[in-house]
Amino acid sequence: MTEKKKLSRNKILKELYFQDSLSCADLSFKIDKSFPVTAKLLEDLLEHNLVVESGYAVSTGGRRPLIYTLQQDVMYLVSVAMDQYVTKIAIMDMQNNFVSPIEKIVLPLPDNPAALQVLIEKIQMVMDASGISKEKFVGVGIGMPGFVDVKKGVNYTFLQLPDNKSITRYIAGKIKVPVFIDNDSSLVALAELRFGAARESSNAMVINIAWGIGLGLILNGELFRGHEGFAGEFSHIPLFLNGKLCSCGKTGCLETETSLQLIVEKAREGVKAGRTSRLSSLKGDDLEQDCDAIIEAVKNGDQFAIELFSKAGYNIGKGVAVLIHLLNPKIIILSGRGSSAGQIWQAPIQQALNEHCIYRLYESTSVEISTLGNQAELFGAAALVMENYEHIPAIKIHPFSKHEEQVKVGE
């Protein structure tokens, strides 16, 4: 089979992963090949048991199309979602199911030279524990905070190797499976684009409400990364004149007025100061636990918790107003950990838009809460692998040599 045919074949598998079941006509359109060629490729895939016919679709006025689906149990993905403190590792099948328990490990990234080694060991461990044979793994997708260069496979903030060598190549060399990395917020956006609220929108802003406020931009139907891959630095746009020092060294960043970290801090302060609230029993040492507790309090109508979220929401809204002016998106999606607080975000954000946005611009922009919630990054990491799947055959790792070959992934 020629290299070109392989590309088309992989494109079919990729489309079937994202769409679950498609007809030959649909696939022909999506992979931009003629019907006869697509049919021939499908025939081959059926023979090799990678694809199965799964009945007929309902007729739309003519002959019913044969529907194709990915064969189960032949391909698996490893998805890894990291934040500054905790890392989750999961194994997923082609139908987007978790096939092993999600492994959650405490792995602080700042000032931790051992982090990369630990990560590799844990990934290896989860893969081994799954009992799935190595050749069935398509690849590993990893989402991580920091300035990530997707093409080079480098994170300039965490998990660095000497001379900024590619960590994707490094990890792939160890576990013998292709590896892809991306910024955490970008992967949340990718998840929303492929499986979530942005599915029908070619222009969407996905806000990743987490310890910081991340942003993934969906422009013209695809994830936008910018010149060096750093686009979406929403957290640090200079929007306030509050003089508050930010972690980045500047003042007035969006992050200084809104983030889950800030909410937890403020909640702890409030409790210490004797504020009446359901939150009075906050642990005060575990960020994740406290955050979950506050979100739970919001849902139970706790006034203090609601006040904190409303203020944070209003400030996110001020940032969203900027996004709407600059990029005229169809939809704003609130995703990531914080989105599990639900509809509480709507009112304050809408209020900020009323005050700071030109009506003509935001009247046709909707604000929605993600249904993927806390698991968005894991879905996104899996999607990242399949996003690159068509190029994977170009990756070759020598089984006996430690010297990695030139790897060309995407563009």
Alpha-carbon distance values, 228 to 151, 155, 158, 199, 381 (Å) = 9, 12, 17, 26, 20
Q: Which does 215 bind (CB under 5 to 8 A by kind): DNA, a second copy, none?
A: a second copy
Q: Among residues 9, 152, 225, 268, which is the contact residue for a second copy, using CB under 8 A?
A: 225
Q: Among residues 7, 46, 52, 66, which is the contact residue for DNA, using CB under 7 A?
A: 66
Smallest distance, a second copy to C-beta of residue 79, A: 25
Smallest distance, DNA to C-beta of residue 28, A: 8
Q: Among residues 224, 265, 288, 350, which is the contact residue for a second copy, using CB under 8 A?
A: 224
Q: Is 125 in the site for a second copy (CB under 8 A)?
A: no
> Beta-carbon neighbour count of residue 61 at 10 Å?
4
Q: Is 284 in the site for DNA (CB under 7 A)?
A: no
Q: Is 185 in the site for a second copy (CB under 8 A)?
A: no
Nearer to DNA, 32 or 411 (CB): 32
Measured at the CA of 285, the angle between CA 284 and CA 290, to 5 degrees, comes to: 60
Alpha-carbon distance values, 259 to 56, 208, 337 (Å) = 48, 10, 11
Q: Is 61 in the site for DNA (CB under 7 A)?
A: yes
CA distance 329 to 200: 12
Q: Which does 329 bind (CB under 5 to 8 A by kind): DNA, a second copy, none?
A: a second copy
Q: Is 101 in the site for DNA (CB under 7 A)?
A: no
Q: Which amino acid is at 106?
A: V
Nearer to DNA, 311 or 391 (CB): 391
Q: Among residues 183, 340, 365, 370, which is the contact residue for a second copy, using CB under 8 A?
A: 365
Nearer to a second copy, 49 or 406 (CB): 406
SS (H, E, C) 142-156: EEECCCEECCCCEEC
* Total site size for a second copy, rule CB under 8 A: 60
Q: Is 133 in the site for DNA (CB under 7 A)?
A: no
Burial label, 151 (beta-carbon count in 10 A; 0-12, 13-18, 19+): middle
Q: Among residues 220, 343, 401, 406, which is the contact residue for DNA, using CB under 7 A?
A: 401
Q: Which does 64 bind (CB under 5 to 8 A by kind): DNA, a second copy, none?
A: DNA
Q: Which does 11 bind (CB under 5 to 8 A by kind): DNA, a second copy, none?
A: none
Q: Which does 4 bind (CB under 5 to 8 A by kind): a second copy, DNA, none?
A: DNA
Nearer to DNA, 36 or 221 (CB): 36
Question: Which range of residues in 2-10, 40-48, 87-95, 395-403 is near a second copy by CB under 8 A?
Answer: 395-403
253 within 8 A of 235, measured Cβ to Cβ: yes
Smallest distance, DNA to C-beta of residue 73, A: 25
CA distance 113 to 100: 29
Q: Is 37 in the site for DNA (CB under 7 A)?
A: yes
Q: Which residue has the tokens 């790792």?
A: 397
Q: Among residues 5, 6, 21, 29, which is the contact residue for a second copy, using CB under 8 A?
A: 29
β-bridge partners, 179: 140
330 within 8 A of 284, measured Cβ to Cβ: no
CA distance 100 to 340: 23
Q: Which of 73, 76, 78, 72 is nearest to 175 (CA)?
A: 78
CA distance 192 to 368: 11
Give the SS3 label for residue 246.
Answer: coil
Q: Is 400 in the site for DNA (CB under 7 A)?
A: yes
Task: Give every CB contact of residue 255 below 8 A, 6+ residues apart in sequence.
Answer: 212, 213, 235, 236, 246, 247, 248, 262
CA distance 402 to 278: 57
55 within 8 A of 62, measured Cβ to Cβ: no
Record the tokens describing residue 241, joined without a space.
Answer: 């004149």
Taking CB under 8 A as the rule, which mask of x and - marks residues 368-387 in contact with a second copy?
--------------------
- The binding site for DNA (CB under 7 A) comprises 2, 4-5, 23-25, 32-37, 39, 56, 58-66, 400-402
- The binding site for a second copy (CB under 8 A) comprises 25-26, 28-29, 35, 60-61, 147, 156, 201-203, 215, 217, 219-220, 224-234, 236-239, 241, 248, 250, 252, 318, 321-323, 325-330, 355-356, 358, 360-361, 364-365, 398-404, 411
